[in-house]
């Protein structure tokens, strides 16, 4: 395999010194990056890497249309958000138009964490409850409230007394009937509701990533999520769909991950890809929920939805539509699934294929055990071969691939052939 030049150790040392040694960095030999374009990232030695990991540069790194919109608005006016300005109204109108009724009002934030925190506050106002149900391996943000509901990455803090976790059903290695697994999940959700109630806590919300990204992209039985949501609603709680990772056309078949199910969430939260790297996030919900919250509480966010952020958000939507990136995710995603299938037939290490559209994974197992060490080596080896991927899941053995949306068939073929060689040489 190729052997790139050593990482810039002096910058690494300075980083450790000023940011601390726990500030996370990818790879055994961290990548020192300089510029990027489309699906390619260039390091300081001028070497190019195929980006099969980053969903923040959703419409492609440094997309000229987005950069131009950002620069144009930044040179005209940027200001906090309590003045009248077209850009935020236009962006919010375009954003809510991509959702199903009755999700017709938006509240903007700067991060996914803020969006989820705000969604939980709204759920508490609307329901009068405090209880939260999450999945048993999930991440929704870095605030105090969300850290007390984090069951997955990184090391979980103590769960708050008002939080219950349920295990997301996965058909991948399930031998029985799908309906039986769905029923088992429904029973767990009902147990979580009863357990909250037994402690005198009314459920406020169930908060799930609709693709279960952190959980490792499980194959959820048909109807299981719908049943769980019905149970929570029956008990007075809301369903909050976290679309920070699945959203904005990535799954190919749908604009939003929840649209693969037969339901409409009460609140949808969004983040990472909305601003193509510019901090733009938010939620959409029903007007009556916005009113119920707004009549009692003030929500003000200095930066969220400022003219520059809104111009950027609209430019991202322009590119998604103009370049048919959702269609691209569907077409290239199908090509990738077929390619991964061929890899699985050649490499015993691959235990299952996951995901859809431009969000996909490979589960690695050796002798019936999760192959986390192999996954780690493979990711580092792929980096040395010039392809950037990562891993996820409770066992850290699922390769995580989620490239910028203009990922082409040729890019996919390069990924597949590189994976094939790296797996052969492992
Ligand atoms: N929800 C999910 C599903 C996420 O993956 C993340 C970020 N990894 C967040 C919320 C938090 O978003 P942010 O980092 O923008 O606060």
pLDDT of residue 404: 98
CA distance 164 to 113: 19
Domain match, 299 and 417 both: no
Closest C-alpha among 269, 146, 130 to residue 205: 130
Domain match, 124 and 213 both: yes
Domain match, 273 and 341 both: no
Instruction: Give residues with Cβ within 8 angstroms of 315, minimum separation 6.
Output: 63, 65, 66, 68, 69, 70, 276
pLDDT tier, 96 (very low <50, low <70, confident <90, very high otherwise): very high
Name the residue with the closest Cα to ligand 1, atom 13: 112
pLDDT at 2 over 80: no
State CA 318 to chain mean position distance.
21
CA of 214 to the centre of ligand 1 (A): 10
Contact at 8 Å (CB) between 156 and 150? Answer: yes
Residue 68 inside a domain? The answer is yes
pLDDT of residue 158: 82
pLDDT tier, 358 (very low <50, low <70, confident <90, very high otherwise): very high
Cis peptide preceding 72, ω within 30 of 0: no
Which of 56, 112, 392 to mutate to test ligand 1, by most ligand atoms within 8 A of the CB atom? 112
Q: Which residue has the tokens 């906090």?
A: 80
Counting residues of the chain whose pLDDT is more than 90, the rounded percentage is 93
CA of 212 to the centre of ligand 1 (A): 12
Instruction: Give me the mean pLDDT over the 317-340 stretch.
Output: 98
Domain match, 280 and 163 both: yes
Contact at 8 Å (CB) between 186 and 226? Answer: no
Residue 297 inside a domain? The answer is yes
Q: What is the pLDDT of residues 203-232, one digit of tens each?
A: 999 999 999 999 999 999 999 999 999 999
pLDDT of residue 4: 52
Residue 2 inside a domain? The answer is no
Domain match, 136 and 166 both: yes
pLDDT at 37 over 70: yes
CA of 271 to the centre of ligand 1 (A): 7
Q: 108: domain CATH number? A: 3.40.640.10
Last residue of a domain, one of 270, 304, 322: 322
Domain match, 70 and 34 both: no
Residue 247 inside a domain? The answer is yes
pLDDT of residue 5: 43
Q: What is the pLDDT of residues 288-305, one digit of tens each?
A: 999 999 998 999 999 999
Last residue of a domain, one of 260, 292, 322: 322
Domain match, 331 and 301 both: no
CA of 140 to the centre of ligand 1 (A): 5
CA of 299 to the centre of ligand 1 (A): 20
Last residue of a domain, one of 322, 355, 377: 322
pLDDT of residue 254: 98
Which of 244, 268, 280, 301 to mutate to test ligand 1, by most ligand atoms within 8 A of the CB atom? 244
Q: What is the pLDDT of residues 97-106, one digit of tens each?
A: 999 999 999 9
Which of 271, 283, 309, 392 to mutate to test ligand 1, by most ligand atoms within 8 A of the CB atom? 271
Closest atom of ligand 1 to 271 CA is 15
pLDDT of residue 153: 72
Domain containing 191 equals 64-322
> What's the domain count of the chain?
2
Closest C-alpha among 299, 304, 285 to residue 112: 304
CA of 266 to the centre of ligand 1 (A): 19
Q: What is the pTM of this model?
A: 0.96
Name the residue with the closest Cα to ligand 1, atom 10: 140
pLDDT of residue 389: 98
pLDDT of residue 10: 85
Residue 4 inside a domain? The answer is no
CA of 232 to the centre of ligand 1 (A): 23
CA distance 355 to 401: 9
Q: 30: domain CATH number? A: 3.90.1150.10
Residues in contact with ligand 1 (CB, 6 Å cut-off): 111-113, 116, 139-142, 209, 213, 242, 244-245, 271, 281
CA of 112 to the centre of ligand 1 (A): 5
Contact at 8 Å (CB) between 202 and 130? Answer: yes
pLDDT of residue 157: 74
Which of 116, 209, 272 to mutate to test ligand 1, by most ligand atoms within 8 A of the CB atom? 272
pLDDT of residue 154: 66
CA distance 222 to 19: 45
Residue 3 inside a domain? The answer is no
Q: What is the pLDDT of residues 371-415, one digit of tens each?
A: 999 999 999 999 999 999 999 999 999 999 999 999 999 999 999
Domain match, 348 and 281 both: no
Domain match, 168 and 258 both: yes
Quote the mean pLDDT of the chain. Answer: 96
pLDDT at 156 over 90: no
- ipTM confidence score: 0.99
Least confident of 8-17, 98-107, 246-255: 8-17
Domain match, 191 and 307 both: yes
Residue 380 inside a domain? The answer is yes
3-state secondary structure the chain: CCCCCCCCHHHHHHHHHHHCCCCCCCCCCCCCEEEEEECEEEECCCCEEEECCCCCCCCCECCHHHHHHHHHHHHHCCCCCCCCCHHHHHHHHHHHCCCCCCCCEEEEECCHHHHHHHHHHHHHHHHCCCEEEEECCCCCCCCHHHHCCCCCCCCCCCCCCCEEEECCCCCCCCCCCHHHHHHHHHHHHHHHHHHHHHCCCCEEEEEEECCCCCCCCCCCCCCHHHHHHHHHHHCCCEEEEECCCCCCCCCCCCCCHHHHCCCCCCEEEECHHHHECECCEEEEECHHHHHHHHCCCCCCCCCCCCHHHHHHHHHHHHHHHHCCHHHHHHHHHHHHHHHHHHHHHHCCCEEEEEEECCEEEEEEEECCEECHHHHHHHHHHHHHCCEECEEECCCCCEEEECCCCCCCHHHHHHHHHHHHHHHHHC
Name the residue with the closest Cα to ligand 1, atom 4: 140
Entry field: residues in the chain: 426
Residue 1 inside a domain? The answer is no
CA of 245 to the centre of ligand 1 (A): 8
Domain match, 393 and 370 both: yes
pLDDT tier, 7 (very low <50, low <70, confident <90, very high otherwise): low
CA distance 20 to 424: 37
Domain match, 91 and 138 both: yes
Instruction: Give me the mean pLDDT over the 320-327 stretch.
Output: 98
């Amino acid at each position: 395999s190729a052997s790139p030049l050593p990482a810039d150790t002096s910058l690494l040392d300075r980083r450790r010194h000023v940011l601390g040694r726990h500030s996370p960095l990818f790879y055994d030999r961290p990548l020192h990056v300089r510029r990027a374009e489309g699906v390619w990232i260039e390091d300081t030695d001028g070497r190019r890497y195929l980006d099969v990991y980053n969903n923040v540069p959703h419409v492609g790194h440094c997309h000229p249309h987005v950069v131009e919109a950002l620069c144009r608005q930044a040179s005209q006016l940027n200001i906090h958000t309590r003045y009248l300005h077209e850009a935020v109204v236009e962006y919010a109108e375009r954003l809510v138009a991509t959702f199903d009724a009755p999700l017709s009002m938006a509240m903007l934030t700067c991060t996914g964490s803020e969006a989820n925190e705000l969604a939980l506050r709204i759920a508490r106002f609307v329901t009068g409850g405090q209880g939260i149900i999450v999945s048993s391996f999930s991440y929704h943000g870095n605030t105090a409230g969300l850290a007390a509901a984090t069951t997955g990455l990184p090391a979980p803090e103590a769960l708050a007394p008002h939080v219950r976790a349920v295990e997301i059903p996965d058909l991948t290695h399930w031998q029985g009937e799908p309906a039986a697994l769905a029923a088992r999940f429904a029973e767990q959700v009902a147990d979580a509701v009863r357990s909250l109630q037994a402690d005198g806590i009314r459920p406020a919300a169930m908060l799930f990533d609709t693709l279960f990204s952190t959980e490792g992209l499980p194959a959820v039985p048909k109807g299981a999520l719908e049943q769980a949501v019905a149970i929570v609603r029956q008990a007075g709680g809301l369903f909050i769909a976290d679309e920070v990772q699945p959203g904005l056309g990535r799954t190919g078949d749908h604009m939003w991950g929840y649209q693969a199910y037969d339901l409409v969430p009460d609140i949808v939260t969004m983040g990472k890809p909305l601003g193509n790297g510019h901090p733009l996030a938010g939620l959409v919900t029903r007007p009556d929920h916005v009113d119920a919250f707004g009549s009692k509480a003030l929500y003000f966010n200095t930066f969220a939805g400022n003219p520059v952020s809104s111009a950027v958000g609209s430019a991202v939507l322009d590119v998604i539509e103009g370049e048919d990136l959702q269609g691209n995710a569907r077409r290239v995603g199908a090509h990738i699934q077929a390619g991964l299938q061929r890899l699985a037939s050649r490499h015993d290490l691959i235990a299952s294929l996951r995901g859809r559209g431009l969000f996909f994974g490979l589960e690695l197992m050796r002798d019936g055990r999760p192959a986390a060490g192999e996954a780690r080596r493979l990711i580092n080896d792929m980096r040395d071969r010039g392809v950037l991927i990562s891993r996820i899941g409770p066992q850290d053995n699922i390769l995580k691939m989620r490239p910028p949306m203009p990922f082409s068939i040729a890019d996919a073929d390069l990924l597949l052939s590189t994976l094939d060689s790296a797996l052969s040489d492992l």
